[in-house]
Amino acid sequence: MSNEVRRFSHGSRVPGWDDAVDLTKEPASVPDPATTPVPDELRAEIEAAMAKYPDRRSAALPALAAAQRHHGWCSPEAIEQVACVMRLTPAYLTAVATFYDMFDTQPVGRHRVYVCTNISCSLRGADELCERIEQAAAGDPDISVRHFECLGACDIAPMASVDGVYVGPIELDEVDELIDDIRNGRPPLPRKQLRLRPTADSLPLDGKDNG
């Protein structure tokens, strides 16, 4: 058996592929403002975004981002609200939202941790780091950990983005502290934040490692 190529063991699943429609629902056209309440704050944010562009549709990404901030994720309700303000169909916005990695079309925790497992980070142990962070956060509904492609900070590999804040290089023994910081709403590993890091080029070439 072992010399054969194993089949059907790593079959694939993409969420959505197996879903039929619900025939009891109405077709989803552009939501009518008369029947789609939108929180004022969100509406204002979306309208401000639309005003920035020659074509209002350009605001789709900022509007979805605003809705995600507001609702925690791009829920069907959130998407309907954006659709209503932007005069687009919710399907259009779903197509957009599912294309981009940063929009969550499934519920997630309040804190998003993206752990980079791309080449440079994985060369420096990111795969194990990612596993450890996942384990440390397991069972905490407030923290969603996911592996991510190169985040553009390979100089601090292995690294993670915690609610948008870049930290790295993260040692395995710093994982608990990191999760603790996140849980308690503290800045994540402040000493390891990218914002504080000098440019490599401006450091003296004294043979000291900084990786």
Partner 1 sequence: MPRPEIKMITFSIDGREVQAPENTMLVDAAKYGDVEIPVFCYEPKLGQPVGACRMCLVEIEGIPKLQTACSTPVKDGMVVHTQTQRVHEAQEAVVEFLLLNHPLDCPVCDKGGECPLQDISFGWGGGRSRFVEPKRHFQKPLELSPLIAIDRERCILCYRCVRYSQEVSEDYQLVLQERGAASYVATFDGHPYVAPFSGNIVELCPVGALTSKPYRFRARPWDIEGAGTVCTMCPGQCNVTLTVRDDRVLRVLARDHEEVDDGWLCDRGRFAYQSFHVDERITSPLVRVDGELRPVPWDHALDVAADALKRAGGAVGALAGGGTTNEEGFLLQRIAREALGSPHLDSQRAPVDRRSLLAIGDPGLQATVPDIEYAHAVLVLDTEPVDEMAILDLRIRKGVRRRRVRLAVASARPSALDGNAALSVRFAPGGGPAFAAELVAAARGEAASDDARAVVDLLRGAGEDVVIVASERVGAALAALADALGLRDRDGAGLIVVPSSANGRGLREVGVLPDAGPGLAPVARPGLHAAEMARAGAEGELTAFWLHGVDPLRDLPYRERWEQALDRATDVIAHAAFLTEGIREHATVVFPVEAYAEKDGTLTHPDGRLQRVRPGIGLQGRNRYGWQVLADLGRRLGLELRVLTAGMALAEVAAAVPFYAGLTQDEIGGRGIRWQEREAASAYPRPEGLPDLAAPTVREGAGLRLGTFRSIWASPEVEHSPALRFLVPRQRVEMAPADADRLGLGDGQRVVVSANGSRVEATVTLRHAVPAGSVFLQDGLVRDAANTLTGSVVEIRPAVTSEVAG
Partner 2 sequence: MEKLLFKDIDEPGLNTIDVYRRRGGYERLRKALAMPREAVLNELLASGLRGRGGAGFAMGKKVSFLPKGAMDVYLCCNADESEPGTFKDREIMQKNPHLLIEGIIIAAYAAGANKAFIYIRGEYVLQADILDAAIAEAYAAGFLGENILGSDHSLSLVVHRGAGAYICGEETALLDSLEGKRGNPRLKPPFPANQGLYQGPTLINNVETLSTVPFIIEMGGEEYAKLGVENSTGTKLVSISGHVKRPGNYEIELGMRSRDIIYGLAGGPPDGRKVKLWFPGGSSSPVLTGSDEDLDLPYDFDTMAKAGTMLGSGAIIVVDDSTSVVEVAYKTAYFYRHESCGKCTPCREGTNWTLKMLDRIRKGEATPMDLDIIASVCENIMGHCLCVLGDAMAMPVSSMVKKFRAEFEEEIERRRQEADLASAMPEPELPLIQGAVA
> Which residue, 37 or 44, has its beta carbon nearer to partner 2?
44
C-beta of 112: minimal distance to partner 2 in Å?
11
C-beta of 115: minimal distance to ligand FES in Å?
9
Positions touching partner 2 (CB under 8 A) are 1-3, 5-6, 9-10, 12-14, 52-55, 57-62, 64-65, 95-96, 99-103, 114, 117-120, 122-124, 146-147, 149-157, 161, 164-166, 194-195, 198-203, 205, 207-211
Residue type, 154: C
C-beta of 175: minimal distance to ligand FES in Å?
17
C-beta of 94: minimal distance to partner 1 in Å?
5
Question: Which tokens is 176 given?
Answer: 């608990």
C-beta of 194: minimal distance to ligand FES in Å?
10
Which of these ranges, 3-11, 55-63, 97-105, 113-121, lies near ligand FES under the rule CB under 6 A?
Answer: 113-121
Among 90, 168, 169, 188, binds partner 1 (CB under 8 A): 90
- 86's CB contacts (< 8 A; 6+ apart) are 46, 50, 56, 57, 59, 60, 63, 93
Q: Among residue numbers 2 through 61, which ones bind partner 1 (CB under 8 A)?
A: 5, 7-12, 14, 16-23, 25-30, 32-35
Q: Among residue numbers 126 through 165, which ones bind ligand FES (CB under 6 A)?
A: 150-154, 157, 159
Query: How many positions of this chain bind ligand FES (CB under 6 A)?
Result: 12
> Which residue, 29 or 58, has its beta carbon nearer to partner 1?
29
DSSP assignments along the chain, one per residue:
-TTSPP-STT----TTTTPPP-TTSPP--SPPTTT----HHHHHHHHHHHHTSSSGGGGHHHHHHHHHHHHSS--HHHHHHHHHHHT--HHHHHHHHHHSTT--SS---SEEEEEE-SHHHHHTTHHHHHHHHHHHHTT-TTEEEEEES--S-GGG-S-EEETTEEE-PPPGGGHHHHHHHHHTTPPSSGGGBGGGPPPGGGS--SS----
Interacting residues toward ligand FES by CB under 6 A? 116, 118-121, 150-154, 157, 159
